[in-house]
Amino acid sequence: MRLFQGAADGTLKAGTLQHETRMATQAPDITDLIANNRSWAEGKKAVDPGFFRRLVAQQAPAYLWIGCSDSRVPANEIVGLDPGELFVHRNVANLAPPQDANYLSVLQYAVQVLKVSHVIVVGHYGCGGVRAAFRNQRLGLIDHWLSPIRAVMRDHEAELAALPNDAAREDRLCELNVRRQVENVGADPFVVDAWAAGANLAIHGWCYSIADGLVKDLGATVRNAAEAARLRS
């Protein structure tokens, strides 16, 4: 079953009917993914013969994306960026925990080596991780991973309680979680030191809507240590 066609402009276009068929029946065979990959690479080369040669030569993205692992939130695609233009870290519920070596390694590399100009924390409405934390579900190891979100809930108990229903509370918790992760990134020693050394580095908080494909800027952007401290206060 072939699901995607490499379009003449080098992008992948989902065949609507085929896509719907897939949603209704089953996932493609793994060999179909290899075939899709061949089509995609050929499409890229067709419109830009030097595309892959340039990528091999260097990686110089200006952005670090910290997003959710959710399959419905494909980082590059949402913001229209090619490979090589977005450095990406994803985990369940787009967390930036100060004790997580995986996230910290990505952040340090992005800030100190790639010298990105923007770190974008991107949550999404309808996040299963946020929902599990909100509903206090018991799912296993992930219950521990999600504990920072339960902390955000406690810190904003009154605000959340004032909302009309649980759907609105979960949406707001998605936003508050993003904001907290922006605070974490802005308090990170790698980031604070980069600012002190004069780096041009902004941290942003966005929330993506799976329902309409649009990101909402949460107005939590910080560009220096003073702004980061203000956001935390």
Catalytic residue numbers read 68, 70, 72, 124, 127
Closest CA relative to residue 205, chosen from 109, 62, 67, 60: 67
Other beta carbons less than 10 A from residue 68's beta carbon: 25
| C-beta of 6 vs 91, nearer to Zn ion | 91
Closest CA relative to residue 42, chosen from 69, 4, 89: 4
Q: How far apart are CA 65 and CA 52, in angstroms?
A: 22
CB-based contact 177:42 (threshold 8 Å): no
Q: Residue type at 157?
A: E
Q: Which stretches of the chain bind Zn ion, using CB under 5 A?
A: 68, 70, 127
Residue 82's Cβ-side half-sphere holds a number of Cα atoms within 13 Å equal to: 14
Q: How far apart are CA 66 and CA 54, in angstroms?
A: 25
Q: Closest approach of Cβ 90 to Zn ion, in Å?
A: 9
